[in-house]
Structure 1
Amino acid sequence: MRWARDRVRQVQIVGLGLVLAAGVVRAEDLPSFAQTRGGHPVSDLQLLDRRGEPLQILRMNPDRRVLPWVPLEQMSPSLLRAMLLSEDQRFYQHSGVDWSAVASSAWGNLWNTRTRGASTVTMQLAGLLDEDLAARGGRSLRQKLGQAWVAGRLEKRWTKAQILEGYLNRVPLRGELIGVPAASQVLFGKRPGGLDGRESAMLAAMLRAPNASPDVISSRACGVLQAMGQACVGLADEVGAVLRRKPLTVADAPQWAPHYARLALKAGGPATQRSTLDAVWQRHAVQTLRRHLSELAGRQVEDGAVLVLDNASGEVRVWVGSSGSQLSEAAQVDHVLARRQPGSTLKPFLYELAIERRLITAASLLDDSPAQVATAAGLYLPQNYDKHYRGWISARAALGNSLNVPAVRLSLMLTPEAVFERLNALGLQLPETGGFYGHSLALGSADVTLLALTNAYRALANGGRHGEVRLPGIAGSARSRAVADAKASFIVGDILADNNARALTFGLSSALALPFPASVKTGTSKDMRDNWCIGWSSRYTVGVWVGNSSGEAMQQVSGVSGAAPVWREVMLALHAGQTPAAPVPPVGVLAQDTRFDGQQEPERREWFLAGTEQAVIRRSADAPTLSNPTDGAIYALDPDIPPAAQRLRFSHEGRLDDGAVASWRLNGRVIGRGATLDWLPMPGRHELALLDGRGRVLRQVRFEVRGAGLRGPAGKTPGTATGAHVKSQAVAARPSPG
């Protein structure tokens, strides 16, 4: 009778404690099952592709490993059985607190601060949902009472299945592992639905003491297995092997898009995000880039990036920011967003602008001969990549073969400021000014990102309309604005798709030649530090960069050998089984059969803006050009040569109309006639004009002569020379190869 009175007194005290605990946790403060599942604090961002296929797992919380919520029906039946045998055998009979367990285990076993005892799964879940009720070095009596009260409330608001599901997804298991999904993946390399009886028994043993020794875990797991009617033979060795596995990683975690996943993480949003990437193409691009860079081993190149944009929507289909840690020492750098010099990949925008302004046509003849461009620092001497010059050449061939000198001459016609404004309108976001870059901007002296440059090419693919790329966290739209002329963009795209137009430099069977219509341009920056290949079909624009994150130069790797093979393989994969449509010429573009008189260019059907078409292209061989001096040249008198022996020769090439003889006018006064004239130079700044037979100015330049001290006899003060055998003080800038 005394025993019964003690139990009644204990129950009365428990009841009083539950009343007190009710003041700690109110019923309305309890989260619903939907709220708990929706707010599940996962530690890893899971990036999915556009169809829902996993692409990347990215760790967000370094202290806890919590994977996405797994529904109860996707848990192994063996796991459910083992867990209930270990923790709560009367789970389906009690209403949150197992009072029969309380009676059988006595007061201390339920309320002891250091034992779990008769704590039910529901009570344990209460501690997982409310930090104030969680154990920190053992539960206090207040926490135990609070858990019991909350457990009763949970049983009224949640179903048994929901309680089990919540518990298995939130319970700590070992070390940093929270929840069965994380423990199953890390410890056993499988999803919760694939756990067998022995694995389930191990996890069930960890529930009571997550960080117990292997011997304790093995002993408890054996007890669970025996309760399930299974033998324990070899279990201790299995437990030891599982707990020794290091490092703890998620098995089969996809690692195909780490840089894009970081963008998604930075943008915020849910832990599981569906992207616009295509898993098949993303994996193919990663593997292609790595394979090709491996083939270039020994040429000092280790980094690369690939970007694929959908022309219509601006969505990203492929984003490969690096070649990976096995090849690169800078694998964490996202080279899609890193600024590098683009080399000749800026030339198409120059030609588009010049055609748009009707300064040239695709058939216009451009001068590919040595040029000297005056700058504030002296003379800029652009050179072609192969150091050879083709003379007069059509704009189509000049762009197709990526010749530098004609591009610089176009920049002179357009001005660097106009080129700068157009490039920024296309989204390149150049940080300086047109004057800062000067005419070298035509050859890619500014730094740009692969993302911005590829999207600028996408604008050409879309008829000159520029639209933003749709990135994580940006609710972008397909809206775009006209930046470049659609007709000129079409003509430039046609040039870049013409395999014959680039044959002089690249041959007819390069990686740029595809079996379907595609426009493409390569580029190589100064000293071979960067390789680019960017081009488009009617559906996609693909950009590839190859180089070194450190900025070190590659060895004998150009755009066509470095980036172009990767571009080709990606383009072929994008269009496997389908042929993209050929571009349709916009209204205002006309096709004209054109022949070239006196040129080494074949007759062809050429595209023109309406009103600029020509059937015959001629260059007058008599057109005079001033070969010396060049505009902006600076000359110094030589103190070692007697004044009378010093002369500056004026010369021109070509004949004047009607056989007339050219005249030379210096500083407003005619000083002689003929193809050449030797002039006794005088210090100062001068203006020289070449005149035709009627006195009209054909060419005009400005130059400067600087005085020099004469070296006289020993002990005498040197004087100033008045004659001149001149030395040019020109500053040469090495051009970027095409």
Structure 2
Amino acid sequence: MPAISPSRHRPVFLPELRPHLFALLLALPLPAVALPSYGEVRAAHVPSEATLLARDGRPLHSLRLDMQVRRSPWTPLAEISPALIGAVIVSEDRRFMEHDGVDWPAAGKAAWSNFWGGRTRGASTLSMQLAGLIDDDGQRRGRRSIFAKISQSTAALRLEGFWSKRQIIEAYLNLVSFRGELVGVGAMSRQLFGKWPHGLDEREAALAAALLRSPNASPALVAKRACNLLKEMQRAAECAGLEGFASRTLSGAQAETATAPGEQLAPHLARKLLVAPGQQLRSSLDADLQRFANQALRRQLSALRQQNVEDGALLVIDNASGEILAWVGSSGDLSGAAEVDGATALRQAGSTLKPFLYALAFERRQLTPAALIEDAPLTLDTGNGLYAPQNYEPHYRGWVSARMALAGSLNVPAVKTLVRLGPEAFHQRLRQTGFSSLQQSGEWYGYSLALGSADISLLMLANAYRTLANAGQWSALRVVPGQGAGPIPCQRDGCAGVFAGPSRAVNTPASAFLVGDILADRNARAATFGLESWLATPYWSAAKTGTSKDMRDNWCAGWSRRYTVAVWVGNAGGSPMHDVSGISGAAPVWREVMDWLHRGDPGQGRPRLASRPPAAPAGLVRTRIRFEPAREPSRDEWFLAGSETPLVRAASASALARIAYPAEGSIIALDPDIPPQRQRVPLRLSATAEAGWRWRLDQQVLGPADSRLLWLPQPGKHRLHLENSRGETMDTVNFEVRALKGRRAAASR
């Protein structure tokens, strides 16, 4: 390949043609608009792809937005294979280094041949072709008339007066079309050969150069021209197998290995933020963290594949700034729905809403962390039927403190807490905390709201837990670094309200602290999760898991002093997982990412990060407590000032006893097609019955209340009494039994 330097060379041409050609060119009017400079042409070059950058400027994800052409970012000459540069010069403009824009000998031969009707190899120099490529008058491009050639020659002469040879060949290789939609050396090299332009060898370079004359020629014709070019370059040995290689290359077989520049780490956020070809947007994402989070999620989902799990999503947020540091929307090729963004999809919340329920109860002094709640079978009349919540594990623990109930994620105590507060009050608190997807009223969701029956997104959940980490102060999330206003990636469905809205105090600092202290207490959750679970980190952190109905979703969200991490695992299509809970599905990913954040990597400039327990805010006192009877060990407990007590005593059964089922106002419908013995009604209490207690229905004693009793229902209205050993009524409910008209009631058969 001839050496390319910016030095000027005088043209060599036929002396007898020079005066006539110069006179003709000088007689023509100069273009009305001056040709752009090299810098202007390069600055105007717009790739067909937009690029999402990490916070440090490294490329994270490239997304093609111009579907008319495929054009890569500008490729400097130093990054283009010398073999390709040489092949293009030999093929298109042998005397490129010698002329000043017009190859006069070639032009003379072409004119003579055209005069006699013959065919010639062509006389357009690279400078002339480049002038045509950058000519703003699109109507003149591609014309082959003598006037168009003369105008192009004039532009080429002027171009060479201001541009260096290196700039001309570099610009030409970046602007010329190679094949189909491929424009420029970068797109051609990546798409056809699956490599960067600097890696092209002689055979690949010859094929690329042969495409310039006829971009859409058949592979056989391209191979033939490439072989002739290789022979001219004294590389005839490279012709062996060239036609087969050309056929594979031009059919797209090599394109399977071609990828967009850099790693493709954030497809879902890129699709939300990138809007124009050539755009380069710096995001708040940390490139190393984003890569690790992707890998951690994929590792866990690969391990769970036999349990019908293929999807997941993950978010990492800086607590102070609200900047999203990692956004993993799916498991990529492990998923059958990789395009679905699990970070914004609305899914059932499971137990992840319980911390906000207890925070509200603490604020309103309905509960303290030491308050006892009975974990026992419960049936509630909702007006549309009976609601009987059950724990995740098929047993009940009796009286437990609110600390143990929240840390152990017990369902019945959570529902009883919601009964105290009311569904509407809790619903309003969740809306204030950023759960904008809860469009219905609290009464519409009912008591199941305590167990996460509502649909939320991972984005909403992550920012809600960040609110607890920030002492109850909610603020919008950001996807770009800095303080100024940034782009909002999405505003509807799972993004509603997440990236916009004024900062606001949702929880009091005291209630947020109490919830965080409970969720960080490994002793309190030991009965459910064990002392050494995925949630038990060697640094201070608070975390909560959740599993939705039928194991369709599981979650793990939590925070340290610096970061909030939230993970969802499930299936985008909604199919249930097989025996996968929050602690076994999402929690391992949460822990792995949280550990990565805190252990640091001094070799990569990431220092080890400590996370110490937060200081208690004003208004809290710590008191030594004991339980009577000793249902839980003595401990130091936090209280809102004025609510502290050193002794926690369980109320007597008689003080707490009430009829749990049938509930007040219940209507029991009998099915005539079911045998009567199969329709007996169990009579249940909310507390353990003492000796001598009994059931009385209307005026008839049914039997003792301290043993299981199944009543054979009779149509009509009834009044059920619970009596103590002295015959005193302790509780009463009214209910009705109905049978279908026109058919015998089941009880009368």
TM-score with structure 2 setting the length: 0.81
> 1:491-521 CA deviation, whole Å, 9 max, x = no partner?
1111111111111111122222222222111
Looking at structure 2, the residues matched to 58 and 598 of structure 1 have their Cα atoms a distance apart, in angstroms, of 65
For residues 133-282 of structure 1, the aligned pairs below 5 Å read 133=138, 139-156=144-161, 158-214=163-219, 216-218=221-223, 220-221=225-226, 224-225=229-230, 230-238=234-242, 240-241=244-245, 243-245=247-249, 246-247=252-253, 248-249=255-256, 251=258, 253=260, 254-265=263-274, 267-268=275-276, 270-282=278-290
The aligned counterpart of 1:128 is: 133
> 1:542-582 CA deviation, whole Å, 9 max, x = no partner?
11111111111111111111111222222222222424321
The aligned counterpart of 1:391 is: 398
Looking at structure 1, the residues matched to 109 and 668 of structure 2 have their Cα atoms a distance apart, in angstroms, of 109
Corresponding letter in the other structure for 1:462: N
For residues 582-661 of structure 1, the aligned pairs below 5 Å read 582-584=612-614, 585-621=616-652, 622-627=654-659, 630-635=663-668
Looking at structure 2, the residues matched to 651 and 244 of structure 1 have their Cα atoms a distance apart, in angstroms, of 77
Corresponding letter in the other structure for 2:32: R
Looking at structure 2, the residues matched to 110 and 441 of structure 1 have their Cα atoms a distance apart, in angstroms, of 89
Looking at structure 2, the residues matched to 177 and 648 of structure 1 have their Cα atoms a distance apart, in angstroms, of 75
- Residue of structure 2 aligned with 1:119, choices 113, 120, 124: 124
Looking at structure 2, the residues matched to 52 and 81 of structure 1 have their Cα atoms a distance apart, in angstroms, of 34
Corresponding letter in the other structure for 1:546: V
> 1:532 and 2:555 equivalent?
yes
Deviation of 1:470 after TM superposition, in Å, equals 1.5
Identical residues among aligned pairs (%): 49
Deviation of 1:135 after TM superposition, in Å, equals 7.9
| Contact kept? 2:84, 2:200, Cα under 8 Å | yes
The aligned counterpart of 2:511 is: 488
| Contact kept? 1:313, 1:477, Cα under 8 Å | no
| Contact kept? 1:133, 1:147, Cα under 8 Å | no
Indicate the larger mover: 572-581 or 197-206: 197-206
For residues 172-571 of structure 1, the aligned pairs below 5 Å read 172-214=177-219, 216-218=221-223, 220-221=225-226, 224-225=229-230, 230-238=234-242, 240-241=244-245, 243-245=247-249, 246-247=252-253, 248-249=255-256, 251=258, 253=260, 254-265=263-274, 267-268=275-276, 270-325=278-333, 327-429=334-436, 430-471=438-479, 474=487, 480-571=503-594
Looking at structure 2, the residues matched to 47 and 64 of structure 1 have their Cα atoms a distance apart, in angstroms, of 20
Looking at structure 1, the residues matched to 287 and 535 of structure 2 have their Cα atoms a distance apart, in angstroms, of 25
TM-score with structure 1 setting the length: 0.82
Deviation of 1:243 after TM superposition, in Å, equals 4.7
| Pair 425,39 (structure 1): closer, same or farther in 2 beyond 3 Å | farther
Looking at structure 1, the residues matched to 740 and 39 of structure 2 have their Cα atoms a distance apart, in angstroms, of 92
| Contact kept? 1:307, 1:451, Cα under 8 Å | yes
Indicate the larger mover: 348-357 or 619-628: 619-628
| Pair 588,242 (structure 1): closer, same or farther in 2 beyond 3 Å | farther
> 1:415-460 CA deviation, whole Å, 9 max, x = no partner?
1112112212222212222222111111111111111111211111
| Contact kept? 1:10, 1:107, Cα under 8 Å | no
Corresponding letter in the other structure for 2:637: E
Looking at structure 1, the residues matched to 128 and 179 of structure 2 have their Cα atoms a distance apart, in angstroms, of 20
> 1:107-132 CA deviation, whole Å, 9 max, x = no partner?
66699999772212222122222464
> 1:600-627 CA deviation, whole Å, 9 max, x = no partner?
2111222222232222211222523212
Looking at structure 1, the residues matched to 199 and 639 of structure 2 have their Cα atoms a distance apart, in angstroms, of 66
Looking at structure 1, the residues matched to 199 and 232 of structure 2 have their Cα atoms a distance apart, in angstroms, of 21
Deviation of 1:82 after TM superposition, in Å, equals 3.4
| Pair 255,651 (structure 1): closer, same or farther in 2 beyond 3 Å | closer
| Pair 10,34 (structure 1): closer, same or farther in 2 beyond 3 Å | closer
Indicate the larger mover: 368-377 or 618-627: 618-627
| Contact kept? 2:399, 2:631, Cα under 8 Å | no
Corresponding letter in the other structure for 1:165: E
Looking at structure 2, the residues matched to 87 and 135 of structure 1 have their Cα atoms a distance apart, in angstroms, of 21
Deviation of 1:344 after TM superposition, in Å, equals 0.5
Q: What's the C-alpha RMSD, in Å, of the aligned pairs?
A: 4.4
| Contact kept? 1:342, 1:523, Cα under 8 Å | yes
| Contact kept? 1:368, 1:392, Cα under 8 Å | yes
Corresponding letter in the other structure for 2:579: Q
Looking at structure 1, the residues matched to 189 and 119 of structure 2 have their Cα atoms a distance apart, in angstroms, of 27
Looking at structure 1, the residues matched to 442 and 598 of structure 2 have their Cα atoms a distance apart, in angstroms, of 39
Corresponding letter in the other structure for 1:502: R
Looking at structure 1, the residues matched to 322 and 394 of structure 2 have their Cα atoms a distance apart, in angstroms, of 39
Looking at structure 1, the residues matched to 554 and 115 of structure 2 have their Cα atoms a distance apart, in angstroms, of 71
| Pair 651,211 (structure 1): closer, same or farther in 2 beyond 3 Å | closer
What secondary structure, in the 3-state scheme, does the structure 2 residue paired with 1:559 have?
Answer: coil
Deviation of 1:350 after TM superposition, in Å, equals 0.6
Deviation of 1:409 after TM superposition, in Å, equals 1.1
| Pair 546,624 (structure 1): closer, same or farther in 2 beyond 3 Å | closer
The aligned counterpart of 1:734 is: none
| Pair 685,423 (structure 1): closer, same or farther in 2 beyond 3 Å | farther
> 1:506-543 CA deviation, whole Å, 9 max, x = no partner?
11222222222221111111111111111111222111
Indicate the larger mover: 392-401 or 189-198: 189-198
Looking at structure 2, the residues matched to 710 and 62 of structure 1 have their Cα atoms a distance apart, in angstroms, of 68
> 1:79 and 2:84 equivalent?
yes
Indicate the larger mover: 531-540 or 185-194: 185-194
